[in-house]
Amino acid sequence: MIRRGLMQPYPLNVAMLCRRVESQFPDKTVTTRRQGRDTTITCRRLMQRSRQLADALRRAGVRPGDCVSTLMWNSQEHLEAYFAVPGIGAVLHTVNARLPADTIGALLDDTRPVAMLADASLLSTLRQVRLPSSLKLIVRVADGDPGNDERAAAIDYEGLLAGGSRAYEWPEIDEQAACGICHTSGTTGRSKGVVYSHRSTVLHAMSMLFADGIALSEHDVCLTVVPMFHAVGWGFPYACALAGASQALSWRQSDPQTLAGLIEQTGATLATAVPTVWINLLEQLRSGEIDAARLRSLTRLPIGGATVSSDLIDGYAQFGIRVQHCWGMTEVSPLGLVSTRRSWLSDESWSQRRLTPGVPLPGCELRVMTPQGTAAPAGSGAAGELQIRGPWVADAYLDPSAEDGRGGGDRFDTDSDGRRWLKTGDIAQIDSDGYVRIVDRAKDLIKSGGEWISSLELESALVQHPGVREAAVVGVPDSVWQERPVAFVSLVEDRDEAQLDLAGYLASRLPRWQIPERFIVLQELPRNNTGKLDKARLRELTRGDGRHGG
């Protein structure tokens, strides 16, 4: 009887990615555009600096298992920390730089960092944060205003690096050891910490190289616009290292002109951000403010974080750029679904499914749990809460007060075979071809007259209107119907609000009882600290108005 495989116990860890980049792709580059200036470095030099940072942190007293936090934008230095911190067995905690100071303080209380790397432009924010007693070292990254007295509060990053050795050897880290921590957006309560392992990080990076997924390869130049403090930059920094792709980083900027310039300068082949960023760029492409020739290298846009409209997909297709709808969560590292065309689909079938978040990546398993608490039959199309399991899916949340550090048990299911499933909070359907349709977030469904209205379905219909740029729908109390939908929209440039008939437009697409009585036009829809539409703020704008018929 043969019980075990006879293969090498080769650990999947970040040090493996470092060695691969150094040995296979030393001449690939990382370009950072910061305040109008480009800095380009080879991967050989980047890894030397990562080794220096790792050694310097070790000499400063950072030990395996210690947390090192970053308060930084997308930059070469942030990428160096991505490798150096987990490379010595410490845990990288990327803090959302757009959060208020009291929230940042609460997150640091959870992770208890011993060191923090902060962008010079964010030192004033950090000064307002109540810092934990565990924090012994604050490092200032990049040059700030020389006259800014905030500079004195931290040691210089380049000075710290000078004390580290380029010849530092990466230790062999257990692949199950903690690698990084990201916090959820906290849209349904206090933010929860998700602790990634080295193994989950590497496997997630591998999944992004699959041909029927993101298909990232050595031939690519990846522009990561999504902040590197959002779910590890959607995994692209590590996936690029594994694939050998060059990288472009836009610091804190996401305006169309900056991105077009960086794409043109670096020859970026794919770029990642939430839909709003690409809506803005598409408008300037259509108006001629940006010459499409500047984007000739760009072939695809993996987009997540919100619904992708057919106008966005078709608009970029006219310029030879493929939009790829993706779905994920911080708890899923974050990529779980990718919209890709399966071989047996007709053109008509694909035209319908291209608007969905797609199908699960290999390694991810899905199920839909009905309101009756049973798993819907595969391909039945029955609606229920989407649940997911896989090697890069969270099994618990960080709870510093628990003896084993595990918390959030109510967000997970254990089936009869002992398998763990993450409750996503999304209401979904899975069709017979495996495509997932997100009906809505459970908390955003609107109960009106005993019937459910999907805010997501209304939003998807509204953004098909040629005059609508973005849309968000919330439920408000109603004395007759319990709840009614209110739609908020922003308009494309030069569209006259008076000429819009949004109710009439929806009437041919949805049942009459689902159509909102009120449509509120805003110049821009509010967004939360992770760049998603801020429905809490929209609900505040309607608070106290429960009138039927609005």
Helix or strand run (H / E) with residue 10: none
Contact present, 56 and 166 (Cβ < 8 Å): no
- Distance (Å) of CA 380 to CA 72, 425, 433, 496: 45, 20, 10, 43
Helices 14-24, 198-207: inter-axial angle, 10-degree rounding: 50
Strand pairing report for 29-34 and 246-249: parallel
Secondary structure letter of residue 527 according to DSSP: B
465 alpha carbon, distance to own chain's centre = 27
Known catalytic residue at 452: yes
Long-range contacts at 490-494 (CB < 8 A, ≥ 24 apart): 490/521, 490/522, 490/523, 490/524, 490/525, 491/467, 491/521, 492/283, 492/466, 492/467, 492/468, 493/283, 493/287
Known catalytic residue at 493: no
First-to-last CA distance in the chain? Answer: 74
Q: Token match 């509120």: residue?
A: 520
Give backbone dihedrals phi and psi of 490, rounded to 5 degrees, phi first: -115, 150
DSSP string, 329-380: -GGGSSEEEE----TT--HHHHHHHTTS-BEEPTT-EEEEE-TTSSBPPTT-
Listed residue (302, 317, 338, 337) closest to 225, CA to CA = 302
Six token digits for residue 484: 């009614």
Which position among 77, 80, 175, 331 bears the catalytic label? 331
Which position among 289, 447, 497, 540 bears the catalytic label? 447
Known catalytic residue at 278: no
Which position among 94, 111, 125, 184 bears the catalytic label? 184
DSSP string, 393-456: S-SSEE-TTSTTSEE-GGGEEE-TTS-EEEEEEEEEEE-TTS-EEEEEEGGG-EEETTEEE-HH
From the number of C-beta atoms within 10 Å of its C-beta (0-12, 13-18, 19+), residue 221 rates as buried
Which ranges of 66-130 would DSSP assign to H, the alpha helix? 76-87, 101-111, 123-127
Which position among 29, 452, 517, 532 bears the catalytic label? 452
Known catalytic residue at 184: yes
363 alpha carbon, distance to own chain's centre = 19
What are the catalytic residues? 184, 331, 447, 452
